[in-house]
């Protein structure tokens, strides 16, 4: 890959700002030779083929609310700015997957690599987008879409090659895990724990996608389709959320040194794709507290491997995106 | 890298047999195009430039005790057999690091990549061997030397690039963890738990290197020197084993919902390299049971990440070695 790589970042929320700040710091520390050639927020865009002064741009955005020229937009960047890698972290509805899918499609068709944190395009359109990436000899990376800071896609793709993955079990939604932890540890009822999660910012204003299990199920779909070469959608899954888990049930399990967690499950040979509350021994490595995520892989050689980390947060998502960018740089 | 890669395997204990069996299976499944061009055990060697019939060779070894021609040795392979990657899994004393270091040095000097499971050469001679590998444009990989099945070196090198690792804490010795778990959970005394670990094959006949903390310390040295670019030896470390941990101490900690584990610790900015028994909350992700290993990384972006897996075992070591082989194949 050529020596100075140009990166365009679509979306300057906490994650987009984290990515440009991290890349800027790494360039100043001489640990990266990437430059940011374009950025956009919802109301403007900034295109500088020789590299944007990140500190000045962020200071301007802080002051004026926009990062660049209001006459320019994300589409101007995607279709005509110079970039080798598109970092697509735009606000995107997970169920419609737009506008992220449109952006990703256009960037891949231009022959640019794409790194995204948006689950929708990967859950709904992975086959199409992966085919497009292959056709143009570029990479499509999406570590940030599953399990937050845990580098689970890197691990599955590269770190344990030679192993057969017999099953994957994961705590893939931090909100549900927080609620179940608080019910179990403090004896809160479900409405009390949900209210607490809302107040602390762990639950969305509308927490339905979390508590019904849809968010965890979307991550199961992504893992099944990208790692296990399946072609499933949410309709192929059995999904049970945590709304029916009562404080009585948690009290009963506690008496047996067990507890309840919402587990996403893939058993590839049996085509089992499921999200459901399950009873686990309290000492099981998957039983993590609060808003953590955790994934256990059952493998033929390495045995059981468990990975635990924060499931969400702008720094954690930034970490996943930066690791994807460096993956592309190293493979190029 | 050329299409058919030749691999030589020095050592046909459980790990060496696991490696050749796994590569043989992968070749038959068309997921690998490697051939095994040479193998040796302590009494013989077999060299077949076009590929050894692995099933026949293992059957012969099972029947006769030797894998090939008793007139040939490991040194014949290393110095004159054709191979692109040397898998060095010979029985090697960890403190003298021989004969593994001699083998690795000779293979690198011939321009071959090396994958080893031997801790000694990496702990004692990393700088020299890494320099030699660099000079000959080949890789030296040693995932199997630290934390068994957990792909911790892959993770640190590649999966979380962009993160600053502020600290690493690890349960790096399964024997000590087994003993402390049994003392804590069953109220066994130290001698009782040690005896049980011996009977179950978790502890060596001479368990001193484990219980004194030396084995965990060697892994700290490897991590410090290879990942954190330090240049330390065991003499630079503070090492306390588990022999002084009493059942009384464990009972006291249990009353506060805490327990004691032997923790290896690296705080790179403060040049702290330590192995010592530490008190941890029972719910801490690092508190794993039995002979498991676990590592927590404290990072600036990804937060705390914890990885848990089996700390030893021939399948687990095989997994680490095969992942190193594929790393070399993919980078080539």
Q: What percent of chain A has pLDDT above 90? A: 83
Q: How many CB pairs under 8 A join A and B?
A: 139
Contact criterion met (CB below 8 Å) for B113 and B137: no
pTM for the full model? Answer: 0.93
8-state DSSP, A270: G
Looking only at the bridges linking them, the beta strands covering A258-267 and A165-171 are: antiparallel
pLDDT, averaged across chain A: 94
User: Phi-psi category of B269—alpha, beta or left, where left has phi over 0 and alpha has psi -120 to 50?
Assistant: alpha
Residue A156: half-sphere exposure toward Cβ, Cα within 13 Å: 25
Residue B314: half-sphere exposure toward Cβ, Cα within 13 Å: 14
Residue A205 has what pLDDT? 77
Marked catalytic residue, from A219, A270, A298, A310: A219
Which of B171, B285, B288, B301 would you mutate first to test chain A, the one with the most A CBs within 10 A? B301
Residue B51 has what pLDDT? 96
- State the CATH architecture for A6-148+314-331: 3-Layer(aba) Sandwich (3.40)
B/e letters for A245-278, b = 16+ CB within 10 Å, e = fewer, are bebeebeebeeeebbbbbbbbbbbeeeebbbbbb
Helix axes A119-135, A100-109, angle to 10 degrees: 10
Which residue in B109, B155, B148, B151 sits closest to B128, CA to CA? B109
Which residue in A286, A177, A310 sits closest to B160, CA to CA? A310
CB within 8 Å: B163 and A319: yes
Residue B32 has what pLDDT? 82
As a whole number, mean pLDDT of residues A117-133 equals 96
Residue A332 has what pLDDT? 64
Positions of B marked active-site: 219
d(CA A178, CA A292): 8
As a whole number, mean pLDDT of residues A73-92 equals 96
pLDDT bracket for residue A206 (50, 70, 90)? confident
As a whole number, mean pLDDT of residues A104-110 equals 98
User: Is it the case that residue A92 has pLDDT exceeding 90?
Assistant: no
Q: State the smallest CA–CA distance between residue A72 and chain B in angstroms.
A: 30
Chain A CB contacts of B229 under 8 Å are none
List, as own/partner pairs, every contact residues A251-259 make where C-beta atoms lie below 8 angstroms and the sequence separation is at least 24, other chains included. Answer: A251/A187, A253/A184, A253/A279, A254/A184, A257/A281, A257/A282, A257/A283, A258/A282, A259/A180, A259/A184, A259/A287
CATH superfamily, region A162-310: Dihydrodipicolinate Reductase; domain 2 (3.30.360.10)
Residue B33 has what pLDDT? 83
Task: For residue B315, give the nearest of A155, A289, A301 by CB distance.
Answer: A301
CB within 8 Å: B319 and A162: yes
Model pLDDT for residues A24-52, shown as the tens digit of each residue: 999 998 888 899 999 999 999 999 999 99
B/e letters for A55-65, b = 16+ CB within 10 Å, e = fewer, are eebbebbeeee
Contact criterion met (CB below 8 Å) for B12 and B67: yes
C-alpha triplet A320, B138, A143: angle, nearest 5° = 10
Which residue in A272, A271, A270, A207 sits closest to A241, CA to CA? A207
Residue B282 has what pLDDT? 87
Model pLDDT for residues B14-24, shown as the tens digit of each residue: 999 999 999 99
Q: State the smallest CA–CA distance between residue A24 and chain B in angstroms.
A: 11
Q: What percent of chain A has pLDDT above 70? A: 99
Chain A CB contacts of B319 under 8 Å are 160, 162-163, 299, 301-302
Residue A53 has what pLDDT? 97
CB within 8 Å: B303 and A315: yes
Pick the residue with more confidence: A263 or A314? A263
Which residue in A307, A159, A300 sits closest to B315, CA to CA? A300
Residue B248 has what pLDDT? 87
What is the token pair recorded at B272?
A: 């702290």
Residue A81 has what pLDDT? 97
d(CA B166, CA B183): 32
Q: What do you get for the CA distance between the two ends of chain A, in Å?
A: 5
Model pLDDT for residues A215-225, shown as the tens digit of each residue: 999 999 999 99
ipTM more than 0.90? yes
Residue B1 has what pLDDT? 47
Starting from the edge strand earliest in sequence, which strands make up the sheet with B272-281, in order?
A238-239, A272-281, A258-267, A165-171, A292-299, A304-310, B304-310, B292-299, B165-171, B258-267, B272-281, B238-239
Residue spans of the domains in chain A: they are: 6-148+314-331, 162-310
User: Is it the case that residue A251 has pLDDT exceeding 90?
Assistant: no
- State the CATH architecture for B154-310: 2-Layer Sandwich (3.30)
Q: State the smallest CA–CA distance between residue A47 and chain B in angstroms.
A: 24
As a whole number, mean pLDDT of residues A176-182 equals 95
Residue B94 has what pLDDT? 81
Residues of chain B with pLDDT under 70: 1-3, 332
C-alpha triplet B157, B159, B162: angle, nearest 5° = 80
Q: State the smallest CA–CA distance between residue B71 and chain A in angstroms.
A: 33
Residue B332 has what pLDDT? 65
Chain B CB contacts of A300 under 8 Å are 315
Residue B258 has what pLDDT? 92
CB within 8 Å: A319 and B302: yes
d(CA B226, CA B130): 9
pLDDT bracket for residue A125 (50, 70, 90)? very high
The H or E element that residue A47 is part of is strand A45-47
d(CA B106, CA B102): 6
Interface of B with A (CB under 8 A): 18, 22, 26, 149-151, 154-155, 158-163, 283, 285, 288-289, 292, 299-310, 313, 315-316, 318-320, 322-323, 325-327, 330
User: Which residue from B minimizes the CA distance to A161?
Assistant: B323
Task: For residue B162, give the nearest of A301, A309, A326 by CB distance.
Answer: A326
Q: What is the three-class DSSP state of A71?
A: coil
Contact criterion met (CB below 8 Å) for B202 and B175: yes
């Amino acid at each position: 890959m050529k020596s100075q790589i140009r990166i365009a970042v679509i979306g300057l929320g906490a994650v987009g700002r984290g990515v440009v700040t991290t890349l800027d710091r790494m360039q100043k520390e001489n640990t990266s030779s990437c430059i940011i050639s374009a950025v956009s927020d919802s109301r403007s865009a900034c295109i500088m083929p020789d590299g944007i002064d990140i500190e000045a741009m962020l200071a301007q955005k802080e002051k004026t609310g926009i990062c660049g020229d209001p006459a320019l937009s994300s589409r101007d960047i995607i279709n005509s700015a110079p970039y080798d890698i598109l970092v697509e972290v735009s606000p995107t509805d997970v169920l419609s997957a737009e506008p992220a899918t449109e952006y990703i499609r256009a960037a891949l068709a231009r022959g640019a690599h794409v790194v995204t944190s948006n689950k929708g395009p990967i859950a709904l359109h992975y086959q199409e987008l992966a085919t497009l990436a292959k056709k143009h000899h570029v990479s499509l990376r999406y570590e940030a879409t599953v399990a937050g800071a845990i580098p689970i896609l890197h691990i599955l793709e590269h770190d344990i090659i030679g192993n057969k993955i017999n099953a994957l079990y994961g705590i893939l939604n931090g909100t549900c895990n927080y609620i179940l932890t608080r019910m179990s540890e403090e004896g809160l009822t479900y409405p009390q724990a949900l209210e607490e999660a809302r107040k602390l910012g762990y639950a969305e204003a509308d927490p339905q996608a979390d508590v019904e299990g849809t968010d965890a199920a979307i991550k199961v779909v992504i893992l099944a389709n990208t790692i296990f070469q399946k072609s499933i959608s949410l309709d192929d899954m059995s999904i049970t959320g945590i709304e029916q888990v009562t404080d009585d049930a948690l009290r009963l399990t506690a008496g047996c040194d067990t507890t309840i967690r919402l587990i996403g499950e893939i058993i590839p040979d049996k085509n089992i794709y499921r999200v459901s509350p399950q009873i686990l021994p309290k000492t099981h490595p998957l039983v993590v507290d609060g808003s953590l995520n955790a994934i256990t892989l059952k493998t033929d050689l390495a045995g059981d491997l468990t990975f635990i980390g924060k499931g969400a947060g702008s720094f954690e998502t930034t970490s996943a995106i930066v690791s994807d960018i460096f993956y592309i740089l190293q493979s190029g």
